[in-house]
Every structure is written in C-alpha cells, then in structure tokens.
Structure 1
C-alpha cells in the first residue's frame, strides 16, 4: 500500500467514527431528555447530510454523562421505639429546655413568643391539634421564629384509655395540621398528663416522633401565682433540665408573667436555653 492509499483509508476510518459518535450522542441526548414516566426509545441511526452536521457538533455524552458516581442517597433512619420518654437533654455546660403545652392560644402564646424573642431564646411548643387548627398563624410563627413545634395529640385525652386506632388518630391528625401550618411534620411528641403506654410509644415512632417528658413541673395549671411558678423554675434549674409550662388550657396569665421574671434570671445565671436535637439511636 502506497502513501496516498494509506491516507485515503485513514480519512475514511475517521469519517466513519465521526458518524458513529454523532449517532451515540443523539441517543444519549434523547435518554437524558426523556420523561421519567415514558418508555425509552432507541435513537434512529443518523445518515447522509444529517450525520455530517451532527459529526461537526461536540459529543454530548462527553459533556453530559449518563451515569454518575456520587454518594448513595439514603432516607432518614427509622425512629426507634422507646420504652420511656426522654426526661433530660444532653448539652455542654448549663443547658436547659423550656417547653409549653396545650396551645396555641391567641391570648397567651403571642406574649410568650414576644418574651422569648426579646431574649433571643428558642423553646418547644407541644400543640394540641384542635387548637393548632384554629390558630395556624401562631404555629407558623413558632416555626418561623426558630422554635420546635411538637405533637400533644388532638384533644388532650388520656391515651391509656384509648384504643390503638384512637391514639393513632389523635396523633396523626395533629401532625397533619402542624405540617399544613409550617411545612414540616413534628419529630417530638408528648403524652397528655404524662400518661405513656406501649401504644403511644409505638405509634409515635411509626409517625417519626421521639417522646419527650419533663424534669421540672411548674404546676402552673393550678394557678399558684407567678412568683411560685418562678421559684419552682429557679429551684429546679440544673444542667439538662426540661421545664414544663403551659400557654393554653385555661387562664395562663400567671405563666406569662412568670416567664418574664425567670427567663432573664436563668440567663444571668449562665444557663443556656436551647432545644434538643433529634435522637436516632
């Protein structure tokens, strides 16, 4: 074979490779653009003038790879079924958690939110579904201001006297309302009256929630006076403590006044008021 024949054959091979590359690029582009719900069809082979035009374009498969090698995405781990609620929280230093149950109530919840915001403090609000349904703006405000919205059942019943289906309804309906109000389902729940049973723990876990109790009960629902509520919080203050208060369920004006007094005292005593992180194990 002489030099001219060798060059002619080389040009022919290169031209053929270009045609095949263009056809592959067209097929790759169709696969990437295909609707996920529609079947993938093979691309027709390019020929003639169309093949020549495609051959002069950059290879799409070089610019947009079909497959990647990124990390495998995993969903959230399933919630462990507990046998008892969390009563304290872990944290560095003098860390405490403030919680408020039974709301939201337009008479008292806004005042509590204002006091917390004035001190740049976040708390947890365990809401009842029937209250949340009528005050979604307050639920949304809680979440927007950085507070944790928890599930406190729909109508505040004694769960130990309900069937499993009734417990599930009480908890799921409340989670639905919270999600509708602020875009996220709650990941913490609290049994009314602190009355836990196996069904509550199992159903709560099925709905993706962890159980949280409390360490210090202010007994503010008995209306003992703002000073008594304040004293109970300060006397019980300690690292890891979870304080139980209320922003609804009756006249909570004493709870509102007490918070204005004990919150700055806790901060002046170097307590850090925070919210717990979700436990997965």
Structure 2
C-alpha cells in the first residue's frame, strides 16, 4: 500500500510545479454585470450580517435552466482573484462525524463559509452532514469515491469514481458539485477531461497546512498565517485520521485572520 508521502511524491510528478497552475477569477455579489452564479445553493436559514468579516463571493438564486460547458483545463486552479483580501478555506476527505461537525460549528460561529471536498464513500454514510453544509451555505466539491491515485486508474475507473460521488452529493446536498479535487494532488489529462464533462472545475490549493502529518495545532496555525494573502486557497482536512489538531487550529487562526482584515469566503463560477 502506498504511504501518503509516497503518493504525494507521485502526485507531484503528475502535476508538475505548483507555481505553474492557474488563477480563478471570481467576483463579489456586486460583480460584473451578466455574470452567472452557479456555485452553492441558496441558504435555507439566513446567515447573520457581518459585512466587515464576511464578504461572500458565492451567489444565490435559482439553478440555470441549461447546463453550461466547462473548459477542459491542463492544470488545476490554485488561487482565486477578487475584491479585497479574500481567502478560501478548504477541507478534504470527509465528511467525518467525529471532526466535521466541530469544523462546521466554528465556521458558523464566525459567519464564514468554506469548501468541503468530500469522498463519495464518506458522504454516502454521512448525508446529514452534507445537508447541513447546504443549509449553512458551504460549497461541496467532488474528491472521488474512494480517494485513489487517479494517475494509476483507467479512464473508466476515473469516471466511475467521479460520477458516483456526483450522484451522492446531488442527493444529499441538493445540487451537483461544480468543483473537484484530485486525491494527493495527482492530476492527469483524463481527470481534467472527465471532470469537465461532469461540469466541474479543478481546484487545488496555495497553502498546504500539512495537518495530515499531525504537526501540532500551533504549526498548522503558523502555516496558515504565514501563507495568508489575497487569493490564497488553504488546504486542511476534516477526515482521514485524527483531525483534532485541525479543529483546534481552525479555532485559533480563523478569528485572527478575520481580525487582520481577511475575508474568508468561497468562490463562485460565472460565465461570460
């Protein structure tokens, strides 16, 4: 069995240097006229107003009547661009009933939304957590069914991993995912093509907290704060092991980011 470290090395070889990946242009709610907002459902309960803390980039409204064609990319998006000091927090591998609720509680406390890249197998067993994510305005993305190394799978296997997860997300969350992330950051041409065929954009990350190594909550906090900058996408985990350090770290760095003037938000897709 591959260790996570060996798989990461394999994944790095598949995708190349992170600095070469793309930037996703996003818009605030008063963004360019004619943009079409498609990411995230309408919140089923209103969020508290906190304009100086939360500047959401996601929009609300009815789903589009016709599907939109998704660009087939050659590399994943690594960061977002938008107004102000916007950052995105992402959590992989869940949902896990041991750790995900605590992360959701912290996000709710500060009126902040995040992205959760879920594995289909975990989502199927914890549908109520996806429903809660929908209720609280978070974005749910596709992280495959069983977290395999995509570069070692056939196209048929990749499609099965992604499509099955799309179906579970749509059933539990209420909408099909519009974002996907390759396990271990190991992307290939087939993954980009199949993701686009399923209507999803590939999103990687800018700052890796390395929380899966259990470095201690303080180290996780330091990595987030040292890497904080406009457009940054932070990678953390809410499953895949003991994530108590990730939970404690979020409780520390989230209010500090907000007090420093960062808008922790989620991206939205818009079309010309």
What TM-score, normalized by structure 2, do the two folds share?
0.75
The superposition leaves residues 75-124 of structure 1 with CA deviations (integer Å, 9 ceiling, x where unpaired) of: 23211101111101011111000000000000000000000000000000
Match for 2:220 among 214, 226, 229? 229
Which residue of structure 2 lines up, in the alignment, with residue 194 of structure 1? 185
Helix, strand or coil: the match of 1:81? coil
Structure with greater proportional helix content: 1
Write the mapping of 1:240-259 to structure 2, written as runs, cut at 5 A.
Answer: 240-259=231-250
- Shift in alpha-carbon separation, 1:279–1:85, aligned structure 2, 3 A: farther
Match for 2:143 among 152, 162, 165? 152
Q: Is residue 2:112 matched to residue 1:121?
A: yes
Write the distance in 1 (CA, Å) between the matches of 2:187 and 2:93.
Answer: 17
Write the distance in 1 (CA, Å) between the matches of 2:183 and 2:105.
Answer: 26
Match for 1:204 among 195, 202, 218? 195
Write the distance in 2 (CA, Å) between the matches of 1:280 and 1:232.
Answer: 34
Q: Which has the larger radius of gyration?
A: 1
Match for 1:94 among 77, 85, 92? 85
Q: Is residue 2:258 matched to residue 1:275?
A: no
Q: Is residue 79–residue 280 contact of structure 1 (8 Å, CA) maintained in 2?
A: no
Write the distance in 1 (CA, Å) between the matches of 2:100 and 2:68.
Answer: 33
Write the mapping of 1:1-281 to structure 2, written as runs, cut at 5 A.
Answer: 75-280=66-271
Q: Tell me the matched-pair count.
A: 209
Q: Is residue 101–residue 247 contact of structure 1 (8 Å, CA) maintained in 2?
A: yes
The superposition leaves residues 182-237 of structure 1 with CA deviations (integer Å, 9 ceiling, x where unpaired) of: 22100000000000000000000000000000000000000000000000000000
Structure with greater proportional strand content: 2
Q: Is residue 180–residue 203 contact of structure 2 (8 Å, CA) maintained in 1?
A: yes
Q: Is residue 119–residue 144 contact of structure 2 (8 Å, CA) maintained in 1?
A: yes
Instruction: Quote the offset at 1:277 in angstroms.
Output: 1.0
Q: Is residue 152–residue 192 contact of structure 1 (8 Å, CA) maintained in 2?
A: yes
What TM-score, normalized by structure 1, do the two folds share?
0.73
The superposition leaves residues 113-171 of structure 1 with CA deviations (integer Å, 9 ceiling, x where unpaired) of: 00000000000000000000000000111111000000000000000000000000000
Which residue of structure 2 lines up, in the alignment, with residue 8 of structure 1? none
Q: CA RMSD in A?
A: 1.1
Q: Is residue 94–residue 239 contact of structure 1 (8 Å, CA) maintained in 2?
A: yes
Helix, strand or coil: the match of 2:236? strand
